[in-house]
Structure 1
Amino acid sequence: MNANSINIVKRGFLLGLMVLFFSSAFGQTMPIAKLDNETSRKGEIVWIDLITNDARASKKFFSNLLGWSFKNHEAYDVALSGTKPVSGIIEDQELLKGSKTSYWVVSASVKDAVATAKKIKSKGGKVLSEPMEISGRGTVALVEDPQGAFFSVLENSSGDPKASAPRNGEWMWAELWTSDPKAAVSFYADVLSITAKPLGNDGGGEYFILKGDTYEFGGITKIPVKDEAPIWIPVLRVEDAAGIADKAVKLGGSILIGPASVAGNKVALITTPSGAPFLVQEWDL
Structure 2
Amino acid sequence: MHGNFVWYELMTTDTKAAEAFYTNVVGWSARDASMPGIEYTLFYAGDRQVAGLMTMPDGALDMKVPPAWLGYVAVDDVDAAAAKIAAEGGNVHRAPDDIPGVGRFAIVTDPHGAAFALFKGTGEAPPLDQMAPGNTGWHELMAGDLDTAFEFYSKLFGWTKDQAMDMGEMGVYQIFASGGKQIGGMMTKPKDIPAPYWLYYFNVEALDAAIERTKSGGGQIVLEPMEVPGGAWIVQCTDPQGALFALVAPKR
- TM (normalized to structure 1)? 0.78
* Other-structure match for 1:259: 225
Aligned-pair CA distance for 1:214: 6.4
Conserved? CA contact 2:162–2:182, under 8 Å: no
* Other-structure match for 2:53: 89
Conserved? CA contact 1:46–1:161, under 8 Å: no
Conserved? CA contact 1:53–1:93, under 8 Å: no
Tell me which moved more, 107-116 or 217-226: 217-226
Conserved? CA contact 1:242–1:268, under 8 Å: no
Q: Which amino acid aligns with 2:235?
A: A
* Other-structure match for 1:60: 20
Q: How does 1:163-178 map to 2 (within 5 A)?
A: 163-178=128-143
* Other-structure match for 2:86: 121
Instruction: Show structure 1 runs of 5+ residues with no match.
Output: 1-40
Q: Are 2:4 and 1:44 aligned?
A: yes
Partner of 1:275: helix, strand, or coil?
A: coil
Conserved? CA contact 1:44–1:109, under 8 Å: yes
**Identity of paired residues, percent?**
29
Q: Which amino acid aligns with 2:20?
A: K
Task: Give 2:199's match in structure 1, choosing from 233, 241, 245.
Answer: 233
Aligned partners of 1:214 and 1:162: how far apart in 2? 15
* Other-structure match for 1:281: 248
Count of matched residue positions in the alignment of Structure 1 and Structure 2: 242
Q: Are 2:100 and 1:140 aligned?
A: no
Partner of 2:147: helix, strand, or coil?
A: helix
Aligned-pair CA distance for 1:44: 1.2
Aligned partners of 2:94 and 2:157: how far apart in 1? 18
CA separation of 1:146 and 1:92: change in aligned 2, threshold 3 A: closer
Aligned-pair CA distance for 1:93: 7.1
CA separation of 1:100 and 1:229: change in aligned 2, threshold 3 A: closer
Aligned-pair CA distance for 1:225: 7.4
Residue by residue over 1:25-61, the C-alpha shift from the partner in whole angstroms, topping out at 9 and shown as x without a partner, is xxxxxxxxxxxxxxxx111111110011111111101
Q: Which amino acid aligns with 1:69?
A: S
- TM (normalized to structure 2)? 0.87
Instruction: Show structure 2 runs of 5+ residues with no match.
Output: none
Task: Give 1:246's match in structure 2, choosing from 197, 212, 216.
Answer: 212
Conserved? CA contact 1:141–1:152, under 8 Å: yes
CA separation of 1:282 and 1:83: change in aligned 2, threshold 3 A: same
Aligned partners of 1:56 and 1:258: how far apart in 2? 27
Partner of 1:199: helix, strand, or coil?
A: strand
Conserved? CA contact 2:131–2:137, under 8 Å: yes
Aligned partners of 1:199 and 1:270: how far apart in 2? 25
Aligned partners of 2:172 and 2:250: how far apart in 1? 21
Aligned-pair CA distance for 1:239: 2.7
| Cα RMSD, aligned residues only | 2.4
CA separation of 1:253 and 1:119: change in aligned 2, threshold 3 A: same
Aligned partners of 2:115 and 2:84: how far apart in 1? 15
Residue by residue over 1:240-284, the C-alpha shift from the partner in whole angstroms, topping out at 9 and shown as x without a partner, is 223312220110111111012332432111111111111112237
